[in-house]
Each structure stands twice: as C-alpha cells, then as structure tokens.
Amino acid sequence: MVKQRVAQLEYSEFQSAMLDEEKRRRKAAKIIAVLEHFHGPLAGLTVGDVGCSAGFIADELALAGAKHTLGIDIDVPGLRKAADRFGERVAFVCGDGTALPFPDGSVDVLVFNHIYEHVVDPDSVVAEMHRVLSDDGVLYLGLGNRLGVMEPHYKLPFLSYLPPALADRYVRAFGRADHYYERFRTRRGLRRMLRAFHVWDYTFPVLATPTKFAGGELFPGLPGRVVKAVLSRTPREVLRLLLPVVPTYLWVATKTPRRPVGAALPQPPERVRPL
C-alpha cells in the first residue's frame, strides 16, 4: 500500500539545518552571486524566497538591495522566528507554493532552493512561479538529483534510487526516520519540470570558481583547491559526461530568452537543452 504524501508542516521543528544561520547565510551568498552574474544587481527589484522557513536567505536578499523582499512558506514556527528577527526588512507570508498570493508577473526574482523534493506537487509550484514571475524575471533553482549517490538529508548511499517502500525500510533500518518522505527527480525529470522556462546551468561555473560564487563551503580546504583546479581545466565535453550523476544542479531560469550579463568564466554557464 502506497502512503499518500502530505505537506511537511513545521519543517524547521524537525530539520535543524533550517536553523543553522551561518550555513544558510553562506548558501544565500552563493545564490546572490549567481543571480548577480546572470542578471546584475538586485537593487530596486521585488524578490521572493519560496520555502523561506526561518528567513536567513530572504534576509540576505533584502540586505543585497532588493526593494521588496518576500518570504513564503507553510512552516509556521519558522515564519514566526523569521518575522521576529527580520520583519522590518522582509514581508513573510504563510502560503502554499501551489497558490502563491501574488498577482501575475509581479515578482522580478524568485529563489527556490532545495525545496522541490519536499513538496507534494512540485510541478504545480513551478507553474505558479512561472505565473508570478515578470516577463524579464529570473528564477534561481537549487535542485537535488535522484541519481546523486549520497542522499543529502539522511546521508545514506543510493537511498533516492529506491522505490518508496524499499526506501522506507532503508531509513528505518539505519534509525534515520520512520519513512523516506523526499521525492527526487533525475536531470531529465527536472528538465521536464522546467520545460516552460529557458534554463541556464551554473553547476560547473560555481564548482570551478567557488571564490567568485561564495561557494567555498562546497569543497573546503585542500580537497577544495584540488577540485577547483581539476574542474577549471577539464574540457566541457568531459564534464558533460558527469551531468547525469551530479548530486546538485544550480540552474537559473527565465520566461523569455536571456543571456548571462556577467564576466567570462573558466567554465561558463550553458543552456540546458529543453525537452
């Protein structure tokens, strides 16, 4: 019997990573650097963080110069913490991503960072973000890959490869959870989910130039320097062979065709071929 998925309410209450302020702000720095490389400064824009939880990323977006910053989530305890700390800079809204409470074309920039695997209907959320995004707007996406070997939430290899019933048994056997809630998609599935958008892939640019994109936390220390050197010099044709199993994709999506405005990079962003 397949267990019906329900919304993950109060996510910050059982996922401590959402309250790790230092780590969340480092992620925000990377997100902002990617957005500014693709689009330019955020000054004067209306920016929304879909799945904001305790609000650290939304706060950084506001500090980066956004004229209006919105944080949207169904995580009520997280939203309360966010509003108490950052309510003067950010408007926090308790709302479902499948019915965003904003007019058509009213938001210039949206952030959807490692959220899709947690929502019941990610396709509907993506459709809503397409609706509220302005015609020249930008959507930042951090997307976990089902074929990434190490599952990021439970740190169990090949967990996301398994069908739900076996995945439930796996997490129970290792005492990580009662069942495995998250649902990841392959790169092909993600391309299908974003088929209404024009998408640019920033995965290898960020990995190969971590300092520029504030992504040093991805591979710290000596291993990071080695990875950076290898990635910055590896031919793109070789790197493309790794794309199906890269654990996380960093994509920027737009409703109308656009190109990055930032400086040239050792590994430049590339268009994601639409399905």
Q: Are 34 and 206 in contact (CB under 8 A)?
A: yes
- The CA distance from 165 to 131, in Å, is 35
Return the pLDDT at 8. Answer: 74
User: Among the listed ranges 51-60, 165-174, 226-235, which one has the minimum average pLDDT value?
Assistant: 226-235
Q: Are 140 and 27 in contact (CB under 8 A)?
A: no
Beta carbons within 10 angstroms of residue 152's beta carbon? 18
- The CA distance from 219 to 137, in Å, is 31
- The CA distance from 5 to 182, in Å, is 9
Segment 19-28 shows an average pLDDT of: 89
Q: Could you tell me which of 160, 78, 82, 156 has the C-alpha nearest to residue 116?
A: 160
Mean pLDDT of the chain: 91
| Per-residue pLDDT reduced to its tens digit, 213-243 | 876 555 566 666 677 778 778 888 998 899 9
Return the pLDDT at 3. Answer: 57
User: Among the listed ranges 13-22, 30-39, 168-177, 206-215, which one has the minimum average pLDDT value?
Assistant: 13-22
Interacting residues of 21 by C-beta distance below 8 A, sequence separation 6+: 54, 56
- The CA distance from 239 to 46, in Å, is 35
| Per-residue pLDDT reduced to its tens digit, 80-104 | 999 999 999 999 999 999 999 999 9
Return the pLDDT at 1. Answer: 46
Cα of first residue to Cα of last residue in the chain, in angstroms, is 33
The beta-carbon contacts of 11-19 under 8 Å, at least 24 apart in sequence, are 11/53, 11/75, 11/78, 11/118, 12/53, 12/54, 12/75, 12/77, 12/78, 12/81, 13/77, 15/153, 18/53, 18/54, 18/75, 18/78, 19/54, 19/81
Instruction: Give the up-direction half-sphere exposure of residue 59: CA atoms within 13 A in the CB hemisphere.
Output: 18
- Band of pLDDT at residue 5, cut at 50, 70 and 90: confident
Q: Which amino acid is at 185?
A: R
Return the pLDDT at 10. Answer: 64
Q: Which amino acid is at 227?
A: V
75-110 b/e (C-beta count within 10 Å ≥ 16 → b): bebbbbbbbeebeeebebbebbbbebebeeebbbbb
User: Among the listed ranges 33-37, 100-104, 138-142, 205-209, which one has the minimum average pLDDT value?
Assistant: 205-209
Return the pLDDT at 37. Answer: 97
Both tokens assigned to 22: 């230092």
Return the pLDDT at 226. Answer: 76
User: Among the listed ranges 62-66, 173-177, 236-240, which one has the minimum average pLDDT value?
Assistant: 236-240
Q: To which H or E segment does residue 240 belong?
A: helix 236-240
Segment 175-187 shows an average pLDDT of: 95
